[in-house]
Amino acid sequence: MSARTDPIERHVWRIALVVIIGTVMSILDTTIVNVALETLGRDLHSTIADIQWVITGYMLSLAAVIPITGWAARRFGAKPVYLLSLVLFTTGSVLCGVAGSVTALIVFRVIQGVGGGMLLPVGQLMMARAAGPARMGRVMSIVAVPAMLAPILGPTLGGLIVDNTSWRWIFFVNVPVGLVAFIAALRTLPHGEREPTDPLDVRGLVLMATGLPLLTYGLAEIGATGTITSLRAAVPLLAGIALVCAFAAHALRARRPLLDLRLYKRATFSSASLAMFCLGGALFGSMILMPLYWQQIRHESVVDTGLLTAPMGLGMALVLPLAGRLADRLGGGPLALFGVLVTSVATIPFGFIGEHTSIWHLSIAMLVRGMGVGFAFMPAMSAAFASLHATELSDATPQLNMLQRIGGSIGTAVLAVVLQRALSHASGSAGAADAYATAFWWSLALTAIAIVPCVVLVCAEHTARSAARALAAAPSHENEKMLVA
């Protein structure tokens, strides 16, 4: 049966629903707290500089725990790991809601992040196994819709909660959702099979679990200080780079490393992974600019800011199902390249943004940009998954999630530095608007970089298909030779 007509069974959709719930909770909490920072600082008697760790601690724990998910899913099974992740996330949410000091809140956010960091990659792993290569694009694109919408809806939901109740309900709202997700996962998710595993690669875990947070922290400090020469930025950044490089050298020598970097020897997987890294920088990096523009230049409220950023998420949601079906039929490379080109073109109007630019013009541009991201992101992920054997999915899934988040961190840091430096030389509201225009030109450059790996991906997929056809035709040629003989 062809990929075009291969039906998706009901049990696959039930698994997808459970995965969606966990994914939304994890991703939503990366942005929902942003709008409450001022309230948190006032209620907990803390400065903004200290309260920022409520967000940073969560993001660092998300990134640090990803490398262990592949080994844990093989060793204990994907379902038990997913259930444990839900327990940690929900428990962390309760603790955050009752926190009485900023220190306690930061610690509890780290616990919450450990659970949240495993939800997305383990959920994607189970979906990839249930869908199979022929239906990968369709299923993953449907699952990705709420995942893409969550960062857009987070500020709006956070603003509504803070305006109408208490900041504590930003965390308490996760509790009933987490309980429902746990019960549904317990009843719905397949038990799966444990795979034979070697002992945990402790050396690799230590190198990555320390290197990645240091790298992320260094990039965050670059955005905060506006310079790479600051010791607060340079020391953790260089240490993080050194530790990550040491991890790569160790992983290539180890018999069973924490993450199998040998997967990148395949042109399809490596180019698709690099495309997702670049797209992560383009997507999450630009997401910091529009909310700041609406609030600082246009003086919109927090709730209105969330609504004004919604067109981009709407554009992604509109095209993701279509992109998934087309990826199953045409391959991920051509669609990813098309999406990056659309995203790049749709970013150009923001380079001319001003203090009185039409809201309708910006909304249309954001809608088209979101459609471009939707056409690029999931086809690239589908191409990466489709190039692997089933036994390699547990290694590949966490790596793809890491690359997205690392790309997003780098994109955010670069655009934050550009914006801060441009604002420091700006005078008046018109000058401040020009500073945002400068940052958006850099956002365009980050987006355009993704064209290169997408072109490589198209070529790699074409080569792989040609090789597969040649291999399939080989036996018939041999038979013909035998008949002639």
User: Are residues 241 and 290 located together in one domain of the fold?
Assistant: no
pLDDT tens digits, 111-166: 998 998 888 778 877 877 777 666 666 666 666 666 666 666 777 787 788 778 88
- The tokens for 437 are 């225009």
Of residues 52 and 396, more confidence is placed in: 396
| CB distance 86 to 95 below 8 Å | no
Same domain as 333, residue 246: no
pLDDT score of 96 more than 50: yes
Identify the burial level of 227 via C-beta atoms within 10 angstroms of its C-beta, where 0-12 means exposed, 13-18 middle and 19 or more buried: middle
| Sole residue written with tokens 């309980």 | 179
Percentage, residues of the chain above pLDDT 70: 85
User: Would you say residue 372 has pLDDT above 80?
Assistant: yes
Domain end marker among 253, 272, 291 = 253
**Does 259 map to a domain?**
no
Locus of tokens 């679990």 = 209
- Please give the structure tokens belonging to residue 45: 């008697």
What is the chain's percent helix, strand, coil content, to nearest 5? 85, 0, 15
Same domain, 294 and 372: yes
Q: How confident is residue 83, by pLDDT bands cut at 50, 70 and 90?
A: very high
Mind listing the pLDDT tens digit for each residue in 203-249?
988 898 788 778 877 876 775 566 777 788 889 999 999 999 999 99
Q: What is the DSSP letter of 198?
A: P
Q: What is the mean pLDDT of the chain?
A: 80
Look at residue 239 in the predicted model and tell me its pLDDT: 94
Per-residue CA distances from 87 to 116, 126, 178, 373 (Å)? 10, 18, 8, 32
pLDDT surpasses 50 at 482: no
Whether 269 and 226 map to the same domain: the answer is no
Shared-domain flag, residues 166 and 99:
yes
Of the three residues 148, 170, 191, the one that is the final residue of a domain is 191
CA distances from 71 to 83, 86, 137 (A): 16, 18, 25
404 shares a domain with 276: yes
The answer to whether position 198 is within a domain reads: no
Tell me the backbone φ, ψ of residue 198, rounded to 5 degrees: -80, 170
Domain count, the chain: 3
In this predicted structure, the answer to whether residue 454 has a pLDDT above a threshold of 50 is yes
Domain match, 174 and 270 both: no
Using DSSP, how many helices (H) and how many strands (E) does the chain show? 20, 0
User: Cβ atoms within 10 A of the Cβ of 283, count?
Assistant: 28
The CATH number of the domain holding residue 37 is: 1.20.1250.20
For 391, the domain range is 264-485
Closest CA to 315 of 145, 110, 103: 145
Tell me, yes or no, whether 67 and 160 share the same domain. Answer: yes
**9 within some domain:** yes
429 C-beta neighbours (distance < 10 Å), count: 15
